[in-house]
């Protein structure tokens, strides 16, 4: 009898916690069909406690993104560098290599003058002539993971999902750099 009571109490506690978690999540979403069920005062209280609406865990999908390409010296072919944290290469976030690479990349890019950035579409990157002179960036104590070589950094705004069917090519800007 005591075992059944303990099991029942654990089940009640679990479902109570789960229901509170679901209510907080639903009420923190700004506009939602399910959030209309909740009392406005309760929603206001939850939004006050969680002001970011769980934005800490996500980023705006419309934010500017970047792609990094490594230029192979022997044949001037480019190879995309994996900067995604959520990939098998980075052990689905357990490896901090991609986070460190993006941190180092940010510190390097701060040193590139705005005048060196050129407008381009993503499809034109593979057609670039790499015979030109790359902007030289010297490695310092903060840069540890970047290999010496030439890179192309491409900044772009992603295509909004509403326009995916109409527009297939992203417009952005690139810079050709050499890290030594």
Tens digit of pLDDT for each residue in 102-112? 888 888 888 88
Q: Beta strands 149-156 and 78-81: pairing type?
A: unpaired
Based on the domain organization, do 155 and 69 belong to the same domain?
yes
Based on the domain organization, do 77 and 51 belong to the same domain?
no
Least confident of 64-78, 96-110, 162-176: 162-176
Residue 160's DSSP bridge partners are: none
pLDDT at residue 54 is higher than 60 = no
Burial 53-87 (b: 16+ CB within 10 A, else e): eeeeeeeeeeeeeebbbbbeeeeeebeebebebee
Based on the domain organization, do 26 and 76 belong to the same domain?
no
Based on the domain organization, do 48 and 97 belong to the same domain?
no
Task: Among 20, 35, 57, identify where a domain stops.
Answer: 57
Least confident of 27-31, 75-79, 107-111, 160-164: 27-31
Q: What is the DSSP letter of 42?
A: H
Based on the domain organization, do 14 and 89 belong to the same domain?
no
d(CA 62, CA 161): 10
Task: Among 57, 77, 95, identify where a domain stops.
Answer: 57
Nearest to 142 by CA among 175, 97, 88, 104: 104
Based on the domain organization, do 39 and 121 belong to the same domain?
no
Q: What is the DSSP letter of 124?
A: G
Question: Rounded mean pLDDT of 154-163?
Answer: 76
Whole-number pLDDT of residue 16: 93
Based on the domain organization, do 95 and 160 belong to the same domain?
yes
Based on the domain organization, do 93 and 18 belong to the same domain?
no
pLDDT at residue 15 is higher than 90 = yes
Judge contact between 158 and 65, C-beta under 8 A: yes
Based on the domain organization, do 18 and 94 belong to the same domain?
no
Based on the domain organization, do 108 and 166 belong to the same domain?
yes
Give me the number of domains the chain comprises: 2
State which residues form the domain around 96.
65-179
Whole-number pLDDT of residue 72: 85
Judge contact between 23 and 38, C-beta under 8 A: yes
Based on the domain organization, do 73 and 142 belong to the same domain?
yes
**The pair of three-digit structure tokens given for residue 23, joined into one six-digit string:** 């209510």
Split at pLDDT 50, 70, 90, the class of 1 is low
Based on the domain organization, do 129 and 110 belong to the same domain?
yes
Segment 133-158, tens digit of pLDDT: 888 888 888 788 888 888 888 888 87
**Matching residue, tokens 């406005």:** 40
């Amino acid at each position: 009898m005591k075992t059944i009571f303990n099991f029942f109490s654990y089940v009640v506690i679990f479902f109570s916690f789960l229901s509170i978690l679901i209510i907080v999540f639903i009420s923190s979403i700004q506009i939602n069909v399910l959030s209309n069920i909740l009392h406005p005062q309760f929603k206001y209280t939850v939004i006050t406690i969680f002001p970011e609406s769980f934005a800490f865990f996500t980023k705006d999908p419309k934010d500017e993104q970047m792609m990094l390409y490594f230029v192979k010296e022997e044949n001037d072919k480019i190879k995309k560098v994996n900067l995604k944290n959520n990939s098998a290469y980075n052990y689905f976030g357990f490896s901090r290599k991609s986070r460190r690479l993006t941190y180092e990349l940010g510190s390097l890019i701060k040193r590139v003058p705005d005048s060196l950035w050129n407008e381009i579409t993503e499809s034109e990157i593979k057609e670039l002539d790499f015979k030109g002179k790359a902007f030289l960036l010297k490695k310092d104590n903060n840069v540890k993971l970047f290999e010496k070589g030439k890179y192309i950094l491409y900044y772009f705004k992603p295509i909004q999902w509403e326009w995916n069917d109409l527009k297939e090519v992203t417009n952005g800007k690139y810079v050709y750099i050499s890290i030594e």
